[in-house]
Amino acid sequence: MGFLRRVSKKVIPFWMGQKLRGAYQKSLGLYYRGNQYYCPFCGYSFSKMLEDGFDLPVIIEKEIIGSGRRENCTCPRCFSKDRDRLIYLYLENKTQVFFEPNKILHIAPEAWLKEMFRKLPNIDYTCGVKEVEGMGYYYDRMTRELDITNLEMKDNLYDIVICNHVLEHIYDDDIAMSEIYRVLKPGGWAILQVPISPIIEESIEDQDVISKKGREKHFGQFDHVRIYGQDYFKRLQKVGFETQRLHPVKDNWNIANLKKYALNNKEELFIATKPL
């Protein structure tokens, strides 16, 4: 945990830290209000979304989708990102998640997605992350400690698992994939987004690269342990998943005024299904 976070968590009570965070987000949302873009999580419209990410050389060289600097990426009001809004649009337009009973496990939960699931009476919702204590005011008290490579849940429990930009942080991603597969019911499915290079076949990983600078140089972020290539889907299939790559335009999701959601046009949605 960073020094400032550590000190502020000692000085500022948890509830006050969350309130301060909320007040900051509200004022940003007001500043950027407008009609150009719309966030389906918080329901507000904005003149622009916030920029996010850094263009490190390896991100540009490998054309990594889901990393790097993106304009109009982050909602000024709730901080949802382009990739989260893609998930929302998929759930809303291509599934019955908002209506049918579903048991959901959400790993390293995005706050806005978590709030949405918690409010849905048809959803039985669990979320968790490793080292929850180290995350400042980002996670609330319902987020439990979970190790994705050693889940405590029994087999065949969940209808849906959501694990958005997590696997690129995990050395033993094959074990994490197997664990997600194990806790899903047959017929259940997972959204497993990762940053990915469309131009490399084999993922790049090297467990000797452990420094922050080294990981930035080789993997595009200080806490990533690989760059996924097109073998990502083979890795998922190896543990038993059937995989799909979906795109709102190419797969014709028929969403009116898609541009207002400020998606990353190159980003696909990765769905991994445990066969019946």
User: How does 222-244 read in b/e, with b if 16+ C-beta sit within 10 Å?
Assistant: eebbbbbbeebbebbeebebeee
Q: Which listed range, 41-49, 102-110, 133-141, 150-158, lies at the site for Zn ion (CB under 5 A)?
A: 41-49
Q: Is 78 in the site for Zn ion (CB under 5 A)?
A: yes
Q: Is 123 in the site for Zn ion (CB under 5 A)?
A: no
Number of neighbouring beta carbons within 10 Å of residue 34: 10
Cβ partners under 8 Å of residue 263, min gap 6: 82, 85, 86, 89, 248
Binds Zn ion (CB under 5 A): choice among 65, 75, 194, 262: 75
Q: Is 39 in the site for Zn ion (CB under 5 A)?
A: yes
Residue 205's DSSP bridge partners are: 226
d(CA 274, CA 183): 10
Which single residue is written with the structure tokens 């939960």?
A: 109
Shorter beta-carbon distance to Zn ion: residue 38 or 241 = 38
Q: Is 77 in the site for Zn ion (CB under 5 A)?
A: yes
Which single residue is written with the structure tokens 């496990």?
A: 105
Number of neighbouring beta carbons within 10 Å of residue 167: 25
d(CA 18, CA 15): 5
Binds Zn ion (CB under 5 A): choice among 41, 117, 139, 219: 41
Q: How many residues bind Zn ion (CB under 5 A)?
A: 7
Q: Which listed range, 40-48, 210-218, 228-236, 260-268, lies at the site for Zn ion (CB under 5 A)?
A: 40-48
CB of 261 to Zn ion, least distance (A): 11
CB of 28 to Zn ion, least distance (A): 10
Shorter beta-carbon distance to Zn ion: residue 105 or 262 = 262
The answer to whether residues 96 and 74 touch, using CB atoms and an 8 Å cutoff, is: no
Shorter beta-carbon distance to Zn ion: residue 42 or 166 = 42
CB of 21 to Zn ion, least distance (A): 14
SS3 9: helix
Shorter beta-carbon distance to Zn ion: residue 88 or 253 = 88
Q: Which listed range, 72-80, 153-161, 186-194, 243-251, lies at the site for Zn ion (CB under 5 A)?
A: 72-80
CB of 65 to Zn ion, least distance (A): 22
Q: Is 263 in the site for Zn ion (CB under 5 A)?
A: no
Binds Zn ion (CB under 5 A): choice among 28, 42, 146, 192: 42
Give the footprint of Zn ion on residues 232-251 (CB under 5 A).
none
Find the distance separating the first CA and the last CA of the chain, reported in whole Å.
42
Please name which of 220, 267, 185, 256 lies closest in space to residue 40, comparing C-alpha atoms: 256
Return the HEC string of 41-70.
CCCCEECCCEEECCCCHHHHHCCCECCCCE
Q: Is 271 in the site for Zn ion (CB under 5 A)?
A: no
CB of 78 to Zn ion, least distance (A): 3
Q: Is 262 in the site for Zn ion (CB under 5 A)?
A: no
Residues that bind Zn ion in the complex, under the rule CB under 5 A? 39, 41-42, 75, 77-78, 80
